[in-house]
Amino acid sequence: MVEEEKPRKVIVDTYALLAMAFGELGEKASQLLQDVRRGRIVGLLPVTVAYEYIVHWRRGRIPVLTSLEEVVTFLTRYFRVENLDLIDWVKAAEIKHKGDSLLRDAEDPGLKRRRLSIVDSTVIVLAQKHRAPIATGDRDLAYVASKLGITIAW
């Protein structure tokens, strides 16, 4: 039996972070994020994911963390938060445009009315930049990323 090679880096999106907070990760995703937590894999977050996670916390959707200091500590202790430069934003805009077209043309009727979020487009940019898979349970993101040749680790 051939064992699947583990990625050295993985891009983590907001969906995965929220699923982790609520204990809704499947076995594969849970193992992947445990490897990130233990430092076996580098977990990368675009700054947009960190922002979105903090917004969810501010709205009371992540009750396990009780202070902003805990949120920031969680994000910076276990993940490497990556800033985006202007070229990254240009690429993200291109991906957003292409992603919306891909979703509109999808065979799955559940995807046809969906649009790729700006945050999701930055996740894809980071995945391309680092040649790393994405950890997500987000159908829109997974669909567009896979159509663009990016591996979905979860």
For 102-125, write each residue's pLDDT tens digit.
Answer: 999 999 999 999 999 999 999 999
The per-residue pLDDT for 154 is 84
Confidence band of 141 (pLDDT split at 50, 70, 90): very high
Spatial distance between the Cα atoms of 109 and 119, rounded to a whole number of angstroms: 23
Confidence band of 97 (pLDDT split at 50, 70, 90): very high
Give the residue-averaged pLDDT of 63-78. 95
Say yes or no to pLDDT of 10 above 90.
yes
Tokens of 2: 């051939």
Confidence band of 23 (pLDDT split at 50, 70, 90): confident
The per-residue pLDDT for 63 is 87
Spatial distance between the Cα atoms of 56 and 79, rounded to a whole number of angstroms: 18
Spatial distance between the Cα atoms of 94 and 86, rounded to a whole number of angstroms: 13
This prediction has a pTM of 0.92
Q: Report percent pLDDT > 70 for the chain.
A: 95
Sign of the C-alpha dihedral, residues 53, 65, 68, 70? negative
The per-residue pLDDT for 5 is 61
Tokens of 135: 């950890």
The mean predicted confidence, pLDDT, of the chain is 94
Give the residue-averaged pLDDT of 118-139. 97
